[in-house]
Amino acid sequence: MSSILSRGRGAVAHRFRRLRAQSFHPPFPGEDGGESEQNVVVDCGWGRLLFGQTFQDPAELAASLREEGPDRRDIAFYIRDPHVALAAAPQELFLDPSHTFRLDLPTYRGSRKSVRGFAIRPVANREDAVEVNRIYAARGMVQIPPEWFEANKESRVVRVLVAEDAMSGAIVGTVMGVDHVQAFADREGGSSLWCLAVDPQAAVPGIGAALVHHLAGRFKALGSAYMDLSVLHTNAEAIALYEKIGFRRVPLFTLKRKNFVNERLYVGPMPEAELNPYARIIIDEARRRGIGVEVTDAEGGFFRLIYGGRSIHCRESLSELTSAVAVSICDDKAVTRRVMERAGLSVPRQIETTDPEARAAFLKEVGSVVVKPARGEQGRGIAVGIETPEQLEEAVAVARTVCERVIIEECVTGEDLRLVVINYKVVAAALRRPPRVVGDGKSTVRDLVERQSRRRAAATGGESRIPLDGETERCVRKAGYGLDDVLPDGLEVVVRRTANLHTGGTIHDVTDIVHPALVEAAVRAAKAIPIPVAGIDFLVKSPDDPAYAFIEANERPGLANHEPQPTAERFVDLLFPQSVPAAVRAVQRKARDNAQGNA
């Protein structure tokens, strides 16, 4: 921490007893004429929190903001005269387009709902810190150096809480609280909430609200008079949550420094704002390197990147470097399978026939099949785990709505593993899991699916939704329920067998543990096509087990949702190798030379 006081509450608690019974409406906290700390700055890991009411000179506040570290996000809160502070550095600072909301803690009564499926606790170790950063990365937030958590785990000024899934032990949400009394003996008895973030793939509802309630309860118990927060004015979902809890908007202002992290807030909507997350992640990386961007068709996801005299047209991760022949091979699943079989990869048995009797015979032989259109993407028309001739013909009819040619494939059990291969190196490996819902003893399966679908859509910019179609109904029936049945409290049901993100699936990074044999097979698959950027899909027993079955190759893999792996960075490296810093290129060149020398 820098410029903060670490004081016990005993010396100041008596000041707040009379304040607990009344609401606070100060336009600018700390202006009651007494002594207080000056120029207070709190290190929050992701950047510094500057308490504007402690700066007497706006020029000093501006100068402090200008000291922001690289890749950090400093925030100046409680600004007396934002126009005056901006005048001190108009080219470097901007007025943040966020609203301030306040929860009056003396009248706050907490939540009557019991927390189900997760527990809330402080960050305990380095593993927790890594998980918090994973959630930050998934939400596009600035990450915190792990050593910050270690240095501040006993802090009474800044406290980071996490929500831990009761079944898996995974961290599914986090929030940060700052105690103003401990920071600078704040006479108003204030506190604030920062960095509320929920894992976009969390299946359990209510995590964000529970974290807010928990933090508010802690501050109320400590005698705080209010808890403030800052939220972007366009974040309607978050604002609705805060207002439901009891927050009210107050006229307080925030200043930030112009940097890459904040760019979209002070330059206005960029042309790429209309693109989907899979295109934006690439464009963000390109802009970070000074590469020019021209959006050629936002609706289709097309853009052009320009660096020096080199120009490359892309559609998300599909670029001009991928040949039309490679796209054609990936587009036809029957052709892809034959290419992989010739390359020596393990592939499931497969037939393509218009004869229902032949399909039924194949089903009887293998026991369970996958039905999928020969050409298609994003999981459309695919049915998994078909076991009867009647189900088979129904699934074929659905698949034909996507492509007239339909493939019947042996159903291999296992987990769905996506390996992202860029420039014939595996950059990321992730398990893709089918969507599932957890019962609460009150809601129907249909209601649970719709709620989970809305959460997935909100978390992915509308890219992931769970269709309420025949395939979902079939999977729910297989679990012993109907869509209009109430699911027992705590019972988890998989509502689709496919793990595709676009149909509600979730992605879980396993790059650090994936077996070398799977890495080698994925690279061999990409070279067999050949294709410089591909998503290679296997069914595996486990990501650390060498056994696999090839499923398909995707010529336009989504590079988002693979945090913390540098998928967009490696893609831009491939397109524009000269944009890589010279020092990094030297290290890469040395590594290549060593590899060739050892070969």
Q: Which residues contact 75 (CB under 8 A, 6 or more apart)?
A: 47, 48, 49, 50, 96, 230, 254, 255, 256
Q: What percent of the chain has pLDDT over 90?
A: 54
Would you say residue 25 has pLDDT above 50?
A: no
* CA 583 to each of CA 120, 187, 270, 569, 578: distance values in angstroms, whole numbers, following the listed order: 43, 51, 31, 16, 11
Higher pLDDT, 109 or 580: 109
Confidence of residue 11 (pLDDT cuts 50, 70, 90): very low
Nearest 5°: the CA angle 484, 488, 493 is: 75
* Rounded CA separation 327/530 (Å): 10
Query: In the prediction, which pLDDT does 51 show?
Result: 97
pLDDT of residue 14: 34
- 271-317 tens-digit pLDDT: 677 888 899 999 989 988 989 999 999 888 899 999 988 999 999 99
Nearest-angstrom CA–CA distance, 357 and 314: 44
The predicted model gives 424-441 an average pLDDT of 91
Residue among 31, 36, 89 nearest 60 (CA): 89
- pLDDT for 61 equals 94
pLDDT of res. 140 = 83
- pLDDT band, residue 463 (cuts 50/70/90): confident
Residue range 484-510, pLDDT digits in tens:
999 998 888 988 877 778 888 888 899
Average pLDDT, the chain: 87
As a whole number of angstroms, the distance between CA 28 and CA 50 comes to 14
Q: Which amino acid is at 551?
A: I
pLDDT at 8 over 60: no
Give the global pTM: 0.73
The bridge status of strand 254-257 relative to strand 190-198 is unpaired
**Domains contained in the chain, CATH given:** 13-264 (3.40.630.30)
Residue 520 in this model has a pLDDT that exceeds 70: yes
What pLDDT, on a 0 to 100 scale, did the predictor assign at position 590? 66
**Whether 75 contacts 47, CB under 8 Å:** yes
Flag whether pLDDT at 561 surpasses 70.
yes
- Cβ atoms 27, 52 nearer than 8 A: no
Q: 27-68 pLDDT, tens per residue?
A: 445 444 445 579 999 999 999 999 999 999 999 999 999 999
Is residue 50 within 8 Å of residue 257, measured between CB atoms? no
pLDDT tops 50 at residue 465: yes
* pLDDT value, residue 324: 96
In this prediction, residue 266 carries a pLDDT of 79
Q: Has residue 23 got a pLDDT over 60?
A: no
Instruction: Note the pLDDT tens digit of each residue in 342-385.
Output: 999 999 988 888 888 898 898 988 888 989 898 877 677 888 88
Q: Is 249 left (phi over 0), alpha (psi -120 to 50) or beta?
A: beta
pLDDT at residue 490 in the model: 82
Assess whether pLDDT exceeds 80 at residue 270: no
Q: What mean pLDDT comes out for the span 247-270? A: 86
Rounded Cα gap, residues 176 and 155, in angstroms? 12
What's the rounded Cα separation, in Å, for the pair 526 and 569?
A: 19
According to DSSP, the residues that pair with 197 across neighbouring strands are 174
pLDDT at 18 over 70: no
Strand order in the sheet with 41-43: 41-43, 48-51, 75-77, 254-257, 93-95
Q: What is the pLDDT of residues 78-108, one digit of tens each?
A: 987 889 999 999 999 999 999 999 999 999 9
Residue 218 tokens, joined? 């802690």
pLDDT at 472 over 80: yes
Per-residue pLDDT reduced to its tens digit, 524-551: 999 999 999 999 999 999 999 999 999 9
Instruction: Specify the pLDDT at position 279.
Output: 92
